[in-house]
Amino acid sequence: MHIDAQVVKALREKTGAGMMDCKKALQEAGGDEEKAVNALREKGLAKAAKRAGKAANQGIVDSYIHLGGKIGVLVEVNCETDFVARNDDFREFTRNICLQVAATNPSYLSREDVPESVLESERQVIKAQALHEGKPEKVIDKIVDGRIDKYYKENCLLEQAYVKNEDITISELLTDLIARIGENIVIKRFSRFEVGEGLETDSSDGCEN
């Protein structure tokens, strides 16, 4: 079937996939954009899975300073080759991860990084809240699981909604990039600094009476 070029372009802008991949996905989906998006993401997952075992020991460290020097971010993103490390899409992705960290202040990279002690503390708090709200005992475990999942989505970078497009997560954004570039790409680590963070406020402003 004929697919209008503007529709293909819109899908490319939405998913980041190549023009030919977008056109093929739309044709196979009968022009249904949502089905085409899902097909492209499934294809991206398959490509990402194939690359997952490849060593990613190249890459870059990028930085971002926000709000007149009040917030700073460092991010390391790895790839397989130095060639990709110089790729514009790769560098744009890394910069967008810096912006994400600056905006959302995640505590961890993935759910696997959350200490069990932190999770147990969260579970106890959530359970106490649910009981205080008068929830039936038989549904408490389900409530705890649901709110822990929400905790992951708020505090783990890979599970957060992308600030520039909340329809996708950072993990999905990463998968799409791997599919486009054809190399394993890994967000290795990040640090976020905010002026005054962790410091006690001195009401005297450093002045002696």
Which residues, in sequence order, are CB contacts of 119 under 8 Å at separation 6+? Answer: 148
What does the pLDDT look like over 81-117, one tens digit per residue?
Answer: 999 999 999 999 999 999 999 999 999 999 999 999 9
What CA–CA distance (Å, rounded) separates 115 from 134? 29
What CA–CA distance (Å, rounded) separates 12 from 202? 52
Under the banding of pLDDT at 50, 70 and 90, the label for residue 46 is: low
Under the banding of pLDDT at 50, 70 and 90, the label for residue 208 is: very low
Taking all residues of the chain, what is their mean pLDDT, rounded to a whole number? 85
What does the pLDDT look like over 163-190, one tens digit per residue?
Answer: 999 989 999 899 888 888 888 899 999 9
Rounded to an integer, the average pLDDT of 71-89 is 95
Domains with residue ranges and CATH for the chain: 5-51 (1.10.8.10), 58-110+156-194 (3.30.479.20), 115-153 (1.10.286.20)
Longest dimension (CA), the chain: 81
Report CA-CA distances (Å) from 152 to 111, 119, 129: 6, 10, 18
What CA–CA distance (Å, rounded) separates 93 from 202? 40
List the beta strands (DSSP E) in 33-103. 58-66, 71-79
Global pTM value: 0.72
Phi, psi of 188 (to 5 degrees): -80, -50
In terms of C-beta density within 10 A (0-12 exposed, 13-18 middle, 19 or more buried), how is residue 167 classed? exposed
What CA–CA distance (Å, rounded) separates 63 from 95? 8
Higher pLDDT, 142 or 201: 142
In terms of C-beta density within 10 A (0-12 exposed, 13-18 middle, 19 or more buried), how is residue 72 classed? middle
Q: 161, 150 in Cβ contact below 8 A?
A: no
- The angle subtended at Cα 3 by Cα 18 and Cα 24, nearest 5°, is 40
